[in-house]
C-alpha cells in the first residue's frame, strides 16, 4: 500500500504504454504531441487544458466554477487518459472497443483506467480520478458517451457498458483529421471491394446452375394453326418416300416446301 505524501510521483502518472506495441506514424506523432503538451505552454492542447472544466473531488457530475488553473499533476493525468483513449480507439470511427467475431467489445472505464495508469494503487489512485477526467474530456467535446440501460421489469433498469467515441474535435486537437479521413476512405474502399467480390461470386454461381435458355420458335402446322415447336431448330422438309426421286428443279423444291407448310 502506497503512502500518500506531497510530491508523490503517483499523483502524476505517465501513460502506461503497452509493451512491444507500435502504432501507425500519424498516431505516434499525436501521442508524442500529447506528451509534450503537459510542459509546452505554447501548445494548443495545453491551452485547452488550461480552460477545461473542473469537477468536484467526490466524483459527482456537478461542475466546479473555475477559480484556478488545472494543477500540473491534473494536466499530466488528463493527458495520460487522452493518450490511452487514442491508443484504444478505432481510427476510422473513434469507437473505443475491440472488434470481435460477433461485433465489438466495448471498453468500460475500469479497463481504460488500467490502460492509462497501470495497476491500481490503494489510497493513491482509484477509478474516480479516471471518471473525473473522462467527464472533463466529455465537457470539452473531445469524447462522446452514450449511456445504455436495459429494462429489467417495472421501473427497474440495468446499466451496461456505455458507447464511447472520440469526436472530430479530439482528432482535430491532436492533428489527426487527415489521417481519420484517409482511414475512412480505406474502410469504405474495403467494404466496396468485399461487396463486389460477394456479388461476383453469387452471379458466377447462379450462371453455372441456370441452364441455357432455348429460344422458342413458332410456325404454321399442317392444319393451318400456329403452334410452338419443341426446339429452336427450324422445320425441315420430310425425306422423300421410297421410290420418289429428288425434285429436279428449284421451282419444284419451293412448291414442295410450300405444300409442307400449308402455304398457297
Assigned domain for 212 exists? no
Assess whether 169 and 226 both reside in one domain. no
- The secondary structure element, H or E, covering residue 103 is strand 103-106
Assess whether 15 and 130 both reside in one domain. yes
pLDDT band at 233 (very low <50, low <70, confident <90, very high): very low
At 101, list the grid cell.
467475431
Assigned domain for 205 exists? no
Question: Does residue 34 surpass a pLDDT of 60?
Answer: yes
Assess whether 131 and 225 both reside in one domain. no
For residues 82-94, give the mean pLDDT. 93
Assigned domain for 3 exists? no
Question: Does residue 3 surpass a pLDDT of 70?
Answer: no
Could you please report the per-residue DSSP string of the chain?
Answer: -PPP-TT-GGGS----PPTT----HHHHHHHHHHHHTTT-TT-HHHHHHHT--EE-TT--SPEEPP-SPPPHHHHHHHHHHHHHHHHHB-TTT-BBEEEETTEEEEPPHHHHHHHHH-S-BTTTB-HHHHHHHHHHHHHTTSEEEEEEEEEEETTEEEEEEEEEEE-HHHHHHTT-HHHHHHHHHHHHHHHHHHHHHHHHHHHHHHHHHSPPPPPP-EEE-TTS-EEE-SSSSPP-PPPPPTTPPPPSSHHHHHHHHHHHHT--
Assess whether 172 and 222 both reside in one domain. no
Q: So what's the pLDDT on residue 169?
A: 94
Assigned domain for 193 exists? no
For residues 211-228, give the mean pLDDT. 50
Assigned domain for 210 exists? no
Assess whether 176 and 231 both reside in one domain. no
Q: So what's the pLDDT on residue 29?
A: 93
Assess whether 177 and 237 both reside in one domain. no
Q: So what's the pLDDT on residue 22?
A: 87
Assess whether 25 and 81 both reside in one domain. yes
Assess whether 170 and 247 both reside in one domain. no
Residue 121, strand partner residues: 125
Q: So what's the pLDDT on residue 229?
A: 39
- With pLDDT > 70 as the criterion, what percentage of the chain qualifies? 67
Assigned domain for 153 exists? yes
User: In whole angstroms, what is the distance from residue 227 CA to residue 248 CA?
Assistant: 32
Question: What's the domain range around 68?
Answer: 9-182
Q: So what's the pLDDT on residue 1?
A: 30
47-61, 103-117, 238-252: which has the highest mean pLDDT? 103-117
Domain count across the chain: 2
Assigned domain for 160 exists? yes
Does this model's pTM top 0.75? My answer is no
Cα dihedral 149/137/98/146 (nearest 10): 20
Amino acid at each position: 500500500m502506497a503512502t500518500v505524501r506531497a510530491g508523490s510521483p503517483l499523483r502524476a502518472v505517465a501513460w502506461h504504454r503497452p509493451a512491444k506495441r507500435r502504432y501507425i506514424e500519424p498516431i505516434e506523432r499525436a501521442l508524442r504531441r500529447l506528451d509534450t503538451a503537459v510542459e509546452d505552454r505554447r501548445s494548443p492542447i495545453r491551452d485547452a487544458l488550461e480552460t477545461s472544466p473542473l469537477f468536484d473531488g467526490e466524483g459527482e457530475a456537478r461542475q466546479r466554477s473555475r477559480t484556478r488553473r488545472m494543477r500540473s499533476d491534473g494536466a499530466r493525468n488528463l493527458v495520460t487518459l487522452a493518450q490511452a483513449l487514442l491508443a484504444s480507439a478505432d481510427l476510422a470511427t473513434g469507437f473505443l472497443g475491440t472488434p470481435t467475431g460477433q461485433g465489438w467489445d466495448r471498453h468500460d472505464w475500469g479497463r481504460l483506467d488500467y490502460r492509462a495508469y497501470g495497476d491500481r494503487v490503494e489510497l493513491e489512485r482509484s477509478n474516480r480520478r479516471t471518471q473525473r477526467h473522462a467527464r472533463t474530456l466529455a465537457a470539452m467535446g473531445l469524447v462522446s458517451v452514450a449511456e445504455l440501460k436495459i429494462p429489467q421489469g417495472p421501473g427497474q433498469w440495468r446499466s451496461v457498458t456505455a458507447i464511447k467515441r472520440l469526436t472530430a474535435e479530439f482528432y482535430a486537437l491532436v492533428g489527426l483529421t487527415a489521417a481519420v479521413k484517409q482511414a475512412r476512405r480505406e474502410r469504405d474502399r474495403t467494404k466496396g471491394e468485399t461487396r463486389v467480390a460477394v456479388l461476383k461470386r453469387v452471379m458466377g454461381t447462379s450462371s453455372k446452375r441456370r441452364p441455357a435458355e432455348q429460344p422458342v420458335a413458332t410456325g404454321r402446322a399442317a392444319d393451318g394453326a400456329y403452334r410452338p415447336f419443341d426446339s429452336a431448330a427450324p422445320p425441315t422438309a420430310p425425306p422423300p418416300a421410297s421410290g420418289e426421286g429428288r425434285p429436279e428443279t428449284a421451282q419444284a423444291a419451293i412448291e414442295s416446301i410450300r405444300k409442307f407448310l400449308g402455304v398457297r
